[in-house]
Each structure stands twice: as C-alpha cells, then as structure tokens.
Structure 1
Amino acid sequence: MHQTDDFYRELVEHRRVIRVLALSDGYSRAEANARLARNPGIIASFSRALTEGLTVTQDDREFDAVLDETIGTIAEASRT
C-alpha cells in the first residue's frame, strides 16, 4: 500500500463535503490517474492532463481518438 492510498477518505466521507476533486498537479496523465485510482471517492479535474498528447498537427480523427482515450482513462481512474 502506498502512503497516499485513501489519504482523503475522511474528507470524502464527511457529511458536509459534496465532492472532492483532484488536480493533475503537473504529473503525467498516467501518474495522475494512478494516484486518483488509489483514492476512492475522488473525481478528476485534470485540465492539463486532459490535453496531454493533443497537437495542432493532428487531423480531426487523430485528435478525437486521443481525446476519447484520455477521457476514458481519467473516467476509469475516477470510478474507483
């Protein structure tokens, strides 16, 4: 078990807390997703990590594929 596993449980379960959001905080999307997955009940607010892998040289199909994959991995990490 990692020292940050379930670190925010007390906040997540507090009766006056509606949601706890996690920022990607400069981590790669993979690392931010891994940290998020180790903390059940927290949802992602990953603006910078959401754009990771997107470039201006991609056509619409490539752009959409990268964005779809990104959203899928962040959503999956938020489900734990």
Structure 2
Amino acid sequence: MSRYIDAAMIANYLTAEPAHRCGCTTEQRDRIVQRYLAVLEQPGWRDAACSGLDPAGEFFTWFASHVAARLRPGAVTGPAADDER
C-alpha cells in the first residue's frame, strides 16, 4: 500500500507544480505522470491500496478528494468504483 500512496503523491506533485519547477519540460513531465498513472490504475495496485485503507478514515477521505481527484476522477475511490463504471 505504501508504494501506491508514494507513487500517487509523486504524480500529484508533478501535476500540481509547473514542469520547470520539477526540473523537466512539460512534455517530459507529462510522460512521467502518464507512466505513474499507468501503474496506479492497474486493478491489482488500486485494490491493494484501497483494501489497506479505512474508507471512513481521515486519510482516505483526504487522499480520495485531493490526490486521486487531481490525478483522475475515480482512480482511487475503492473497489466499488468499478461497479459504477
């Protein structure tokens, strides 16, 4: 679970900051973020991260509404999100 959270936090930082503040061009940053998202959106990773978090907990609520919402709506909302798609 911690690897998932770490990867999501890095991707979130990269999307929140201008590319030059991250030491890369916009194209480089976008390519890096897409690679992180490709891993983060794998069902096994997402399900493992969500199963280790309390959906009613403060961290999950903050993470889903801030980090996950910025990266891709619904990407990290829990296993039930797949049923709604």
**TM-score under structure 1 length normalisation:** 0.35
Which structure has the larger Rg over C-alpha atoms? 1
- Going by fraction, where is strand more abundant, 1 or 2? 1
